Amino acid sequence: MAIKNGSKLPTKFYGEDIVRRTGSSHQTGVVLRCWHDADDVSQPGDQHDPLMRPLERGEVGVSFLPSGTREILPESELELVDRVFQPGDLCKRSIDDVRSGVVTCVDVQGRLEHAISGQPVAGWKTTADIYSTLECELGDYVAYDDWIGQLFDEIVVETANGLVRLPELSSRLTIGERGNDIIPSPMNLPSFFGFLNRMQSNHEDVVVGIKHTVVAISWLAINQALPQDQAQTAVRPERFWSGANLSKLRLVRSRAEQMMHVGDKVLLKNWAEEPSTRHGKPADPGGDVEVRAYVVKETKTLVTVLWQDGKGEDIDSKELIPYLNPDEYDCWPGEHVLWKTEDEKRAAVVQSVDALERTARILFPETGAVELAPLLELDPHGSSDWSATVPATFDGLGVRRGDFVFIHLEGTTNGLEFPRVPRIGEVEPWVREPPVIHDDGHYGGWRQVMYELGMSIARRREHDDSHEGAVRRVRKDDTTFNWFGEVSDLHLDGNVEVTLPNGTVKVYPLARLTRLYDTLEQLEDILDDGMSVQDEDGIEEIMDEDGNWHMHHPGSDGEDWEDEDGDDPMDVDGDWPEEKAPSTPPDVKPPDGWWEEDTPETTAASPSPDSTVSSRPPTAAYSSSPDTSKEAPSALGNGDTDHVIDEDADSPWKRFEVLPEAPPDHAFHGTPINQPSRQFLARLQKEYRALTSSLPDTILVRAYEDRSDLLRSLIVGPENTPYEDAPFVIDWMLPSDFPQTPPVAHFLSWTNGNGRASGTVNPNLYEEGKVCLSILGTWAGDKNESWSPARSSILQALVSIQGLVLVKEPWFCEPAFDKLRGTEDGTVNSCGPFLTASMPSRLYNEKAYVLSRGFVRRALEVPLGSLAAEVTWLYHKQGKLAKVVTDARALVQKSREEPVDSTTVVNSDRAVPRLTGGAIITLERTLTKLESLQRSEA
């Protein structure tokens, strides 16, 4: 694959890959970090963990087994041993393969050796031959009575004095682990462990046994098949379980959790002839223990893949790669989707997908009819069909392989309209408590209760051999818990195959299922939603004109916007004439005419923001001073001087105006009207000056006398981007403490129901209206990129959106994707695959282009408050609509008639060089409407 420097940079390894040092058969490890991971986080200042330094391109972080050595190495020094997949994972054969698949089944075999002696076990063992040394682990589901909960252990250690049993104390040890510091310092243990002071300092402790003595359980949800009155009166089970009560719990493990992994400690079901070791003596404190635990040294994995075209295949996992960044419109056979056109919305089941043409064959269950539909008109997630009546329980459409579900009684449903599926699961408050460690080294809160229970059991063992129970699995003949199960397959008729806790496999209609929303998933969602950007002390650094930095505390009135000479750094044309300067406003609602509408406008070049602004993440930076040598970008294409907009006296295209009233269709029109303060209005005058003098002619802004806190902006999509010639409207609200707080932006997304999720048309412009930009405080960019009362402005935010968000390759605006620029991963996802003949450009640019053509239609069909005349003038009087239609028709014709040549596509300078068949179908619908608008106007 040719890129800028002529080299190839394919991704070689992925997270959880099993690798080996090249030329070494003994150094096997697991990949923990990859430079291309979207969620990869590094801590340059952390010197304790060698894996936490930032990764360079082509490096991976590996943990070697069994030593636990952690290193960052070049991919060239490693070779792939096995690749780990789980049921439900997405995969491809190669990065440039347009077709993807879903893993439906995984068969893992492993080579074992004794966990302590290292003696090998002959042959390959399957999952059916083994079971885990741990009765249960953190995150496991457990069932009791009519409840499903989630786990949040006594260790037997061989020391110089024999075997010792003690509570695990959160060490997460496994059988066979060795070390000189496994057992905590005796001063932190009760007096009956005092004999540990006599341990030899040079002795290596060895873990020879593990048993759970106390577990804490967060009870998530109750059996959905219970009668309502019975469910309402059901009592939530106890939090802590120990002793004989443990045997009352039943373990429910997923297929993925039962798979073999390198480094796992396992037991063999048939162990009579296999190696073992003995430890301790009957008279020892810990007794006499025989260890028949084994460690998995190597694995090989065979997976069953259901490809998008409906074909199934058994394949070695090393011949596949994970599909990490699927397009939001991708779907696979058996999945439930909504087909949305202008006239109707229908539930359907995917039968097969033509990934090359971006079309799908879909089944309508109510009629049995099968039709062909473009992927751009299919909603696989249900995010665009979100309902305010069920915001907490609605979890999208259908279910996925690997989901755990509750089963409703026959003849009843989950209560939502097909194919919606609700989710349930209550995280108990104590689970969210952060660890509390007192000065004496002991835990606080519920962890302290667990510790005390564990220690009491350890003390009791000194005097008697009390019966200790164990969490058990559900027997094959036990149907008690068959109201719960794991989704194992999706049928093409829309029904769902579920594996029940006792191993029975049954098929249910989707309407009888409710998905489990577990603790770990909820905690992840809480963390994802908790992003905030705030300067702790409000102090910022300001650079003076000599280039020196000074600590600065912005004043509440924002007056620090001016420099020492009183010049406004955002007023590129200097001070206004005295006779045109606005009068000082009162600190109440401004009187009519407080802003003089006849203020002269200048045709200045677009100013450059004072600092780099991230657009999740930053992809470019502006100079700190305006470049007056360049022409202002025109509305018919930036830099296209043949089509500069003529702002004559009769033209409504005024870059900035103050109108009497805010339009009712403004996103913030219904918000409370705050009484503007004197400081607020003084700062607003400065913002108006900058907007009047320095906006490019491709951006319009309207302000309002009756609502000084509201603005509306129109940005015309820049030339040679997927957004070319399309209108992007953003409504603004200024908080009462502006400029101490940044303005709030709301993007008007006009995807006509085809916007599926956050960032459909652009990663920074969300369907629900959020504009993700560091200067607005909606993205955690660099501190210097965040909103500054002294340095930031509305003008800066507008120009940043046009220059940093509406770009040629918007896919790279997604967090952490910018580093994939110039690699196979990035090119395929941004512009589409191109290495195979007849393979059209696709994915993000194509989607953004097609949807933004719909923006033109929406702006013309539904008059836009404050900007209707401007939109009509631009698209009809200035010929912009004719250009949109002509360009789109030419692109459609080229995509249909010309064969795809990989060199042509790669070297094309166009943002959207080709369209797929599915995109053409959707675009044709929009073009038909646009051409109708042309005829009506004519």
Query: Catalytic residue numbers?
Result: 772
Which class for 907: exposed (0-12), middle (13-18), buried (19 or more C-beta within 10 A)? exposed
Which residue type, as a one-letter code, is found at position 133?
A: T
Look at the chain and count its residues: 938
Beta pairing class for 277-279 and 404-407: unpaired
Instruction: Return the SS3 of 383.
Output: helix
Q: Please name which of 158, 189, 183, 188 lies closest in space to residue 171, comparing C-alpha atoms.
A: 183
Q: Please name which of 878, 874, 844, 877 lies closest in space to residue 856, comparing C-alpha atoms.
A: 874
Residue 691 φ then ψ, to 5°: -65, -40
C-alpha distance from residue 315 to each of 100, 107, 353 (Å): 14, 10, 20
Contact residues for 91 (Cβ-Cβ < 8 A; gap 6+): 85, 100, 101, 102, 103, 303, 305, 320, 321, 322, 323
Q: Please name which of 34, 81, 32, 70 lies closest in space to residue 54, comparing C-alpha atoms.
A: 34
Tokens of 140: 């496991």
Query: Nearest 10 degrees: CA dihedral of 222, 226, 228, 231?
Result: -40
Tokens of 336: 């439930």
Instruction: Return the SS3 of 802.
Output: helix
- Residues 844 and 827 sit within 8 Å (Cβ to Cβ): no
Tokens of 457: 């059991």
**Apex CA 35: angle with CA 297 and CA 527, to 5°?**
90
Instruction: Return the SS3 of 566.
Output: coil
According to DSSP H, which parts of 575-663 are helical? none
Provide the 10 A C-beta neighbour count for residue 190.
12
DSSP 686-706: HHHHHHHHH--TTEEEEEESS
Which class for 287: exposed (0-12), middle (13-18), buried (19 or more C-beta within 10 A)? middle
Q: Please name which of 353, 348, 312 lies closest in space to residue 331, comparing C-alpha atoms.
A: 353
8-state DSSP, 771: B
3-state DSSP percent of the chain in helix, strand and coil, to 5: 20, 25, 55
Sheet containing strand 162-167, strands side by side: 162-167, 154-159, 205-211, 178-179
- Residues 495 and 391 sit within 8 Å (Cβ to Cβ): no
